[in-house]
């Protein structure tokens, strides 16, 4: 519990305006775009193109200029199809140290994509203001305490160790969210600081991933903002065979459907194209 107490007392008052900024953005009632910055050598989508710090920082700047509302920075691959190499906290922070401080100065909200509470705490100290946990507070027992102590928003993603085509995926994801929300409540995380992500591709068959987007409104029963990260995922390949960098069209189609079904945020590699698609779709809808 000593580590947890340190998390609680390390709250940084300077983060309050930034974390409140997420609420302000969500209040605009338009889909927010989260740009993906992988500082890893084994990302499924880009093969480590941003592992070089200068390249990563330049790419982050480009996404900010293209209209990203949030930049999601991760230094350990969470690729949903296996083959990733787990790294230590020290290695994860070493990869981030040359990139994250510069990214947090770009004037865009920054989330830290990690399943480790100590890495999240370090990233928050560097200026990140959102925690993105792909195991939804259910992997590291200190994560919920950290989030509660800092008072920052958290993205709770539904995950599974392996896909099971026999299960009702909507019921399974809903049950995962319910467990995560119980953990959050016990830790003292304010409910208005929570975003739910069904985890497209994570422990799901392609058909189940498609179902999560098609039936996204089912998760609105939790009365919390929903995030969908369909960018370049394998389910697109199951519909139209393609390599990850050839899935821009499928990614945009998925995010437009997600937005139409109630997504408040989408997580994308191709920020400029996603921002343009969402704005045009909104203009057409407004003209109806």
Helix axes 248-260, 271-286, angle to 10 degrees: 40
Helices (H) and strands (E) in the chain, counts: 12, 8
Residue 228 to residue 8: CA distance in whole angstroms:
30
pLDDT at 116 (0 to 100) = 97
Residue 80 to residue 218: CA distance in whole angstroms:
23
Q: Return the closest-CA partner of residue 259 out of 236, 230, 232, 239.
A: 230
Residue 133 is assigned to a structural domain of this protein? yes
Residue 126 is assigned to a structural domain of this protein? yes
Mean pLDDT of 193-218: 98
Q: Return the closest-CA partner of residue 99 out of 185, 142, 15, 40.
A: 40
Residue 124 is assigned to a structural domain of this protein? yes
pLDDT in tens, 95-129: 999 999 999 999 999 999 999 999 999 999 999 99
CATH number at residue 168: 3.20.20.20
Residue 20 is assigned to a structural domain of this protein? no
Q: Among all residues, which ones are annotated catalytic?
A: 233, 267
pLDDT at 3 (0 to 100) = 39
Q: How confident is the model at residue 215 (pLDDT cuts 50, 70, 90)?
A: very high
Give Cβ neighbours of residue 246 (< 8 Å, ≥ 6 apart): none
pLDDT at 83 (0 to 100) = 56
Is residue 1 predicted with pLDDT exceeding 50? no
Query: For the chain, how many structural domains are there in total?
Result: 1
Residue 133 to residue 117: CA distance in whole angstroms:
9
How wide is the angle at C-alpha 103 spanned by C-alphas 99 and 106, nearest 5°?
155
Residue 77 is assigned to a structural domain of this protein? yes
pLDDT at 50 (0 to 100) = 55
Average pLDDT score over the chain: 91
Using alpha carbons, list the distances in angstroms from residue 247 to 211, 234, 240. Answer: 19, 9, 9
Residue 70 is assigned to a structural domain of this protein? yes
pLDDT at 41 (0 to 100) = 78
Is residue 7 predicted with pLDDT exceeding 80? no
pLDDT at 4 (0 to 100) = 39
CB atoms within 10 A of CB 155: 24
Say what percent of the chain tops pLDDT 70.
88
CB 48 within 8 A of CB 41: yes
Is residue 17 predicted with pLDDT exceeding 80? no
Residue 69 has what DSSP assignment?
S
Residue 17 is assigned to a structural domain of this protein? no
Query: Tokens at residue 83, please?
Result: 């083959």
Label the pairing between strands 227-228 and 194-197. unpaired
pLDDT in tens, 158-184: 999 999 999 999 999 999 999 999 999
pLDDT in tens, 42-52: 554 555 555 78
Domain that holds residue 106: 2-7+28-286
Label the pairing between strands 32-38 and 227-228. unpaired
Q: How confident is the model at residue 201 (pLDDT cuts 50, 70, 90)?
A: very high
Say what percent of the chain tops pLDDT 90.
84
71-86 burial, b at 16+ Cβ within 10 Å, e below that, comes to bbbbbbbbbbeeeeee
Residue 47 to residue 38: CA distance in whole angstroms:
9
Residue 1 to residue 142: CA distance in whole angstroms:
8
Residue 19 is assigned to a structural domain of this protein? no
Residue 74 to residue 113: CA distance in whole angstroms:
5
Query: Tokens at residue 230, please?
Result: 């369909």
pLDDT at 226 (0 to 100) = 98
pLDDT at 46 (0 to 100) = 54
């Amino acid at each position: 519990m000593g580590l947890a107490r340190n998390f609680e007392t390390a709250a940084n008052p300077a983060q309050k305006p930034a974390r409140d900024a997420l609420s302000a953005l969500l209040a605009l009632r338009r889909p927010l775009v989260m740009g993906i910055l992988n500082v890893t050598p084994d990302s499924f989508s880009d093969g480590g193109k941003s592992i070089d710090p200068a390249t990563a920082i330049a790419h982050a700047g480009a996404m900010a200029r293209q209209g990203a509302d949030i930049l999601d920075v991760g230094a350990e691959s969470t690729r949903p199809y296996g083959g990733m190499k787990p790294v230590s906290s020290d290695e994860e922070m070493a990869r981030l140290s040359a990139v994250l401080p510069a990214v947090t100065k770009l004037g865009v909200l920054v989330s830290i994509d990690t399943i480790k509470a100590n890495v999240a705490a370090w990233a928050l100290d560097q200026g990140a203001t959102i925690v993105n946990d792909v195991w939804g507070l259910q992997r590291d027992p200190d994560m919920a305490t950290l989030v509660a102590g800092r008072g920052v928003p958290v993205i709770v993603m539904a995950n599974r160790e392996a896909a099971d085509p026999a299960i009702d995926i909507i019921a399974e994801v809903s049950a995962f969210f319910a467990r995560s929300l119980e953990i959050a409540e016990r830790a003292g995380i304010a409910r208005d600081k929570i975003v739910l992500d069904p985890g497209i591709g994570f422990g799901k068959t392609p058909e189940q991933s498609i179902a999560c987007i098609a039936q996204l409104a089912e998760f609105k029963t939790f009365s919390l903002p929903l995030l969908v990260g369909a960018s370049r995922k394998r389910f697109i390949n199951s519909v139209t065979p393609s390599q990850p960098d050839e899935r821009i069209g499928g990614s945009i189609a998925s995010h437009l459907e997600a937005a139409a079904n109630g997504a408040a945020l989408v997580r994308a590699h191709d920020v400029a194209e996603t921002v343009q698609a969402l704005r045009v779709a909104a203009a057409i809808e407004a003209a109806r």
